[in-house]
Each structure stands twice: as structure tokens, then as C-alpha cells.
Amino acid sequence: MTPNVHHIVCTACGAVNRVPAGKALGQGHCGSCKAFLAGEAPVDVDEKILDRLLARDEGSFLLDVWAPWCGPCRMMAPSYAEAASHFAGNLRFLKLNSEAHPNAAARLQVRGIPALFLFQAGRVIDQRSGVQTTPMLTQWIESVKILTPSA
């Protein structure tokens, strides 16, 4: 990680962006595709973008591994979206459909869904499985000491 600069992968196009330390991701746009680097809603990612995030991203993000047929996953979706709104611009909330991308889920060693992985600089720093409510998600995230680009 370069001092005062974080390399952040755009979840829309996969481009690596240099973000100055102290600037919230919600204020930044991708230099290539102009998409926001972080928003108030979870973003669906595919295997290719996830691989790029794990290889090149120096920021933090929470990944929800889910499937459309999974009742608990659908039940947790509103809580996940609400938590994403709560942390908007400071922590990216991503979703990976394990049915559409089984190889990515297998590489993460997902054994049950929903599965949540908290990443920092391409490494898992904590994980949870099962349905999480909004208060459970926010308490968990706040209890884990993560570095965000604005930190």
C-alpha cells in the first residue's frame, strides 16, 4: 500500500483506482467508467471482479455469498441493504451469487449460505454464516478493526 494512497478496484469495470487517504469512497468515481466506487446499496459482483478485488484491492469490503433459491439469503437481503446504507461510502457491500459463480464460492470454502466475508486488502479478516439482522451486522462490522480509505 502506497502511503497516502489506496488502490481500489471498481466493481463495475475492474479498473484499479488510486484514492487519496482521507477521501471516502462514496465521493469517488472510477477513472475509467465513471461509476461510484462505493454507494448506499450492495453491488452484485461476478467471479472475474472478485478475483480482481482479491488480487489488487487495498480497501475493505463485505461479501455476501448467497443464492436465489435460498430462503435465509432472501430473508437477510433487506438487513444487508440497510447495513450497506448505514456504512455508505466507507465500506463496500458486495454480493456473489453462488449458483451463478460456484467456482468462486468453492475457492472461498463456502459450506453454507448465506456466508459473509469481511475483507481487508484482499484477505479475509473475519467471517460469519447464517442470517444476520441489521443490528447484528452493524455491531459485527464496528467491532472488527478495519481500515477504510477515509481512515
Q: Please indicate whether residue 70 is annotated as part of the active site.
A: yes
Strand partners, 19: 6
Q: Copy the grid coordinates of residue 61.
A: 469490503
Nearest to 26 by CA among 115, 88, 103: 88
Catalytic residue among 10, 30, 33, 70: 70
Three state DSSP letters for 17-86: EEEECCCCHHHCECCCCCCECCCCCCEECCHHHHHHHHHHCCCEEEEEEECCCCHHHHHHHHHHHHHHHH
Q: Copy the grid coordinates of residue 38.
A: 462505493
Q: CA angle, corner 52, sides to 45 and 49, nearest 5?
A: 20
Q: Which residues are catalytic?
A: 70, 73
